Every structure is written in C-alpha cells, then in structure tokens.
Amino acid sequence: MDWKDRQWWPVVTPIVGITYCSALVGGAFFGLLFYPGNWAIFGPTHLPIVVEGTLLSMADYMGHLYVRTGTPEYVRHIEQGSLRTFGGHTTVIA
C-alpha cells in the first residue's frame, strides 16, 4: 500500500497547497505594504552631497560601510595585490 493511497491524502493536499500559496502571496504583500515607509526613512541616505570637494552619498558621509568578512591578514594581502599560497610565498594577482 502506497502512502498516497491513504484516505486523508485528498484532504490534506489542497490544504497544504493553499497554505503554501497564501504564505508566498501574503509575504510578498506584507513586504510591499511597508516598502514606501522604508523609503521615507532610508531614502535620504541616497542623496548626493559634496564634502570638501568630494561627491559622496549621505550614507558614505555618515559612515555606513560594507564590511568585508575575513581575517585582517587576508584582507591586507588582497589590498596589497598579493595572495598567500600554500607554499608560504605570496603571488601577485594584479
């Protein structure tokens, strides 16, 4: 006897399908509901400003940075244009 042949299969399948679809659609509408409110708060951080002759966005001026993950030694090697190999030597990548 296959597990699909049970009596509750025709009852449970539509319930699960409807629940799954309503979760996807409801989640999308919930996100769209608050999207305009987020622009009122975070929108001004995208405005361009000139600070000491340099064109920046407000987010750059306030100090919002993209933090790279990794150990400081690895990040330092990449910024210098070299990459540490397994042999212990550095290899130029630029």
Same-domain status, 6 and 33: yes
Range 33-42 contact pairs with CB under 8 angstroms and sequence separation of 24 or more: none
Contact 61, 46 (CB under 8 A): no
| Strand 48-51 with 54-57, pairing | antiparallel
In the chain, the number of structural domains is 2
CB atoms within 10 A of CB 55: 9
Same-domain status, 18 and 44: yes
Residue 94 pLDDT exceeds 70: no
pTM for the whole structure: 0.40
Provide mean pLDDT across the span 16-30. Answer: 93
Same-domain status, 17 and 53: yes
pLDDT in tens, 38-78: 888 888 878 888 888 888 888 777 776 555 565 555 555 54
Same-domain status, 46 and 9: yes
Same-domain status, 36 and 75: no
Same-domain status, 73 and 44: no
Same-domain status, 52 and 90: no
Domain coverage including residue 80: 67-94
